[in-house]
Amino acid sequence: MRLDYRVTVEDAGRRAGRLTAEKFHLSQHDLAYLKQTNGLLADGNPIRQIDRVSAGMLLSICLPDPVPSNAVPVTFSLVYEDEVMRVIDKPAGIATMASMRAGGDSIESEYTSLYGDFRPVNRLDKGTGGLMVCATTGYYQHLLSEQLHSDCFIREYLAVVEGRMSSETGCISLSIGHVPGSNNLRRIDPDGKPSCTFYRVLDSGNDRTLLRLRLMTGRTHQIRVHLSAIGHPICGDHLYGSPLPEFTDSFALHSAYLFIRHPKTHEILFFKSRPDQRFLQLLDQSLF
């Protein structure tokens, strides 16, 4: 994998190693690899990391492509892949990040066994399934993360909630903060962080409603807290609503649609993910 950067007048005189680490978000491991392999180039020729750069110089780094390994069984599916990013479809009921509580059962451990470093751009709760974006390098992770919560990176969810909504569309704009004494739980808090969720009713049945939701901000548990606050918790949400036997390790929330501008080609890409059969059974209708 090769990445290039044209040195600007402002960058002139800086050391090549520091500049490339900053521009491409390289780790110490990456820098060590470049040193060992002469993978840092200036106008196509090897350069030392301590050397000074000049304006107009083309700096290039050559990093290895990940070597696939099947050490860990994989539960997610690969939706899209190129040199910049991978879009994966995460199943509900598995944690995104590895932790002592989750053990080895996580998207992070599975992804790492296949592709190396795990660089998620957006994350999903353990109980939420659907689309996630992972960058291939720290540099691309930085570019993609800058697009979050803008028209260049739009995430939309499907959710089945309890009860019938009083309006077909709406915006939930309620600030969210921590529950005192808890690292995990959130609550509506006037002194919390501003949060905004748009919703649109798609269908209803069995005293439940199917919603399509768009996040304008990205607070922890935002959709779950907002819907619970207006009296329509997500079906099966054990933290902010009531558990259901058919959702023992998840709830009826799915990251179903993703619109993203490719940070390198600037092409608008669209992806979608189908929720599982439990969504249909909750409303007792065939909606998908």
Q: So which residues are the catalytic ones?
A: 125
Q: Is the dihedral of CA 55, 57, 58, 63 positive or negative?
A: negative
Tokens 């529950």 -> residue: 179
Q: Find how far residue 118's CA is from the centre of its chain.
A: 11
Give the phi and the psi of residue 168 in degrees, each rounded to 5: -75, -30
Write the Ramachandran bin of 210: left for phi over 0, alpha for psi from -120 to 50, otherwise beta. Answer: beta
